[in-house]
Structure 1
Amino acid sequence: MLSILIPTYNYECLGLVEELHRQAQTLSFPIEILVADDGSKEELKRNNRKINKLSNCMFIELKENVGRARIRNFLSEKARYDLLLFIDSDAGLISNFFLQDYVSAIQNNEVVCGGLLYDRPLPSEIFSLRYYYGISTEERSAKARNLHPYAQFSSFSFLIRKKTFRQILFDESFSGYGHEDTAFGIELEKRGIKIKHISNPLYHLGLEKNEDFLQKTEMSIENLYRSSAKLEESVRLLQTYNKVRKYKFQKPLAFLFRKTRGILKRDLKSSHPSMKLFAFYKLGYLCNIKQNN
């Protein structure tokens, strides 16, 4: 009935799978857990190979990195059951009824999103940017997410009927990091497929160090630039950029960004980074890309 699909890259997720497997044993319907490794380092795959020792679980190793979109499509091909529960490998269970609550919610829906939380307190200042950004931007109640259900779609954790997923798939033209889930939410909306947001969160445990998260943010904005025609009506950063361009402020902003980038980075890597400065950093980075291309 339920296929749990976990893409992973350079992250040890044996503990997550063991907890999901434990919950699965208490339920009355069949469950499989498939983990696909997207070309991780050898030392980070050793423990994950123990997943194969658990009943109805499989650890699949891809020879090369295929990317966030393609690996999810690959897992959907391998799945045996009609319900697909996608979970990122850096998730942590909160509720003992996580699986049951998801399956109950899908009965009258095509897509269900459970949400995410960040464990308190901040584990270390070296993760402060990812941590405070996540709390300010990604933590949302089910009520708040249901106000804008498609814009709030996240591939971190969602349940979908297999026939629905196979009609859409993740857009494999998105390479690198970022916005493949944005495009998936847009496609759901275009097709009139309803999303139900519920309160069934997981912890997001895989915090990147500040410098690493800044680099991933820049990669995400580069993805956004390459796919702006597909995303401009749905992504706030592009909407803001279009307003800036309308009043011909993009060149001054790009210039200001270049002059202040070092100062901005120092704040963003501090113990309490400013989310307003982070928003400016992203807009300035996009303006700079646009000006240079």
Structure 2
Amino acid sequence: MLSILIPTYNYDCLGLVEELHRHAQTLLFPIEILVADDASNEDMKRNNRKINKLSNCMFIELKENVGRARIRNLLSEKARYDLLLFIDSDAGLISSTFLQNYVSAIQNSDVVCGGLLYDSTLPSVIFSLRYCYGISTEERSAKERSLHPYDQFSSFNFLIRKKTFRQILFDESFSGYGHEDTAFGIELEKRGVKIKHINNPLYHLGLERNEDFLRKTETSIENLYRYSDKLAEHVRLLQTYKKVRKYKFQKPIAFLFRKTRGILKKDLLAHHPNMKLFAFYKLGYLCNIK
């Protein structure tokens, strides 16, 4: 009935799979757990291979890195059951009824999104930028997400009927990091597939160090620019960028960004990064792309 699909790259997700496996034993319907590794380093794969020892669980090793979109599509091809639950490997369970909550919610829907949370305490200041961004931008209740259901779609934690997923798939033309889930949400809207948002979150545990997250943000913005024709009406940063260009503010903002980039980075990599400055950093970086 339920295929739990977990893409992973250089992350130890054995504990997550073991906990999901324990929960699955208490339910009255069949469950499989498939983990696909996107060519991680050997040390990480060595521990994750223990997943194969669990009943109805499989650890699939890809020989080359295929990316965030392709690996999810591959998992859907290998899934046996009609309901696909996608979970990122750096997730942590919160509720003991997590799986049952999803199965109950999908009865009259094709797609259900559960949301995510961050721990109430910052684990270390070296993760402060990722943590503050997550708290301010990504943590949303089901009520809040339902106001813009397609724009709030996230591949971190969602359930979808296999038939629906196979009709759409993740767009494999997206390379690098960022926004393949934005494109998927757009396709759901185009096809009139209804999304139900519920409060069934997972913890997001895999925080990047400040410097790494800033680099990933820059890569994400480059992807945003590359696919702006597809994403323009659904991403706030692109909407702001469009207004900036309309009123011919792009060059002044780009110039100001270049002059202040060092100061901005110093703040963003500090203990208490300012999210308004982070928003300007992203806009300034976008305005500088040629």
> Residue by residue, what CA displacement relative to the aligned partner does 1:22-81 show, whole Å, maximum 9, x if unpaired?
000000000000000001011111110000000000000000100000000000000000
Point out where structure 1 has 5 or more consecutive residues left out of the alignment: none
Q: Does 2:190 align with 1:190?
A: yes
Q: Does 2:184 align with 1:177?
A: no
Residue 23 of structure 1: aligned partner: 23
Question: Which AA in structure 1 matches 2:10?
Answer: N
Q: Does 2:216 align with 1:213?
A: no
Q: Does 2:66 align with 1:69?
A: no
Q: Does 2:139 align with 1:136?
A: no
Residue 118 of structure 1: aligned partner: 118
Give the Cα separation in 1 of the matches to 2:261 and 2:54.
49
Partner of 1:55: helix, strand, or coil? coil
Residue 52 of structure 2: aligned partner: 52
Q: Map 1:252-291 to 2 at 5 A.
A: 252-289=252-289
Point out where structure 2 has 5 or more consecutive residues left out of the alignment: none
Give the Cα separation in 2 of the matches to 1:199 and 1:189.
21
Give the Cα separation in 2 of the matches to 1:12 and 1:176.
22
> Residue by residue, what CA displacement relative to the aligned partner does 1:140-194 show, whole Å, maximum 9, x if unpaired?
0111111110010000000000000000000001001000000000000000000
Deviation at 1:120, TM superposition (A): 1.9
Q: Which runs of 4+ in 1 moved over 4 A?
A: none
> Residue by residue, what CA displacement relative to the aligned partner does 1:188-241 show, whole Å, maximum 9, x if unpaired?
000000000000000000000000000000000000011000000111000000
Partner of 2:266: helix, strand, or coil? helix
Give the Cα separation in 2 of the matches to 1:256 and 1:224.
21
Residue 240 of structure 2: aligned partner: 240
Residue 223 of structure 1: aligned partner: 223
Give the Cα separation in 2 of the matches to 1:202 and 1:233.
28
Deviation at 1:269, TM superposition (A): 0.6
Deviation at 1:111, TM superposition (A): 0.1
Partner of 2:248: helix, strand, or coil? coil
Question: Which AA in structure 1 matches 2:255?
Answer: F
Give the Cα separation in 2 of the matches to 1:154 and 1:107.
20
Question: Which AA in structure 2 matches 1:245?
Answer: R
Question: Which AA in structure 2 matches 1:33?
Answer: I
TM-score (norm 2): 1.00
Residue 86 of structure 2: aligned partner: 86
Question: Which AA in structure 2 matches 1:43?
Answer: D
Give the Cα separation in 2 of the matches to 1:124 and 1:36.
29
Question: Which AA in structure 2 matches 1:176?
Answer: G
Question: Which AA in structure 2 matches 1:238?
Answer: L
Q: Does 2:208 align with 1:200?
A: no
> Residue by residue, what CA displacement relative to the aligned partner does 1:261-280 show, whole Å, maximum 9, x if unpaired?
11000000111100000000
Q: Percent identity over the alignment?
A: 87
Residue 166 of structure 1: aligned partner: 166
Give the Cα separation in 1 of the matches to 2:256 and 2:151.
30
Deviation at 1:86, TM superposition (A): 0.1
Partner of 2:7: helix, strand, or coil? strand
TM-score (norm 1): 0.99
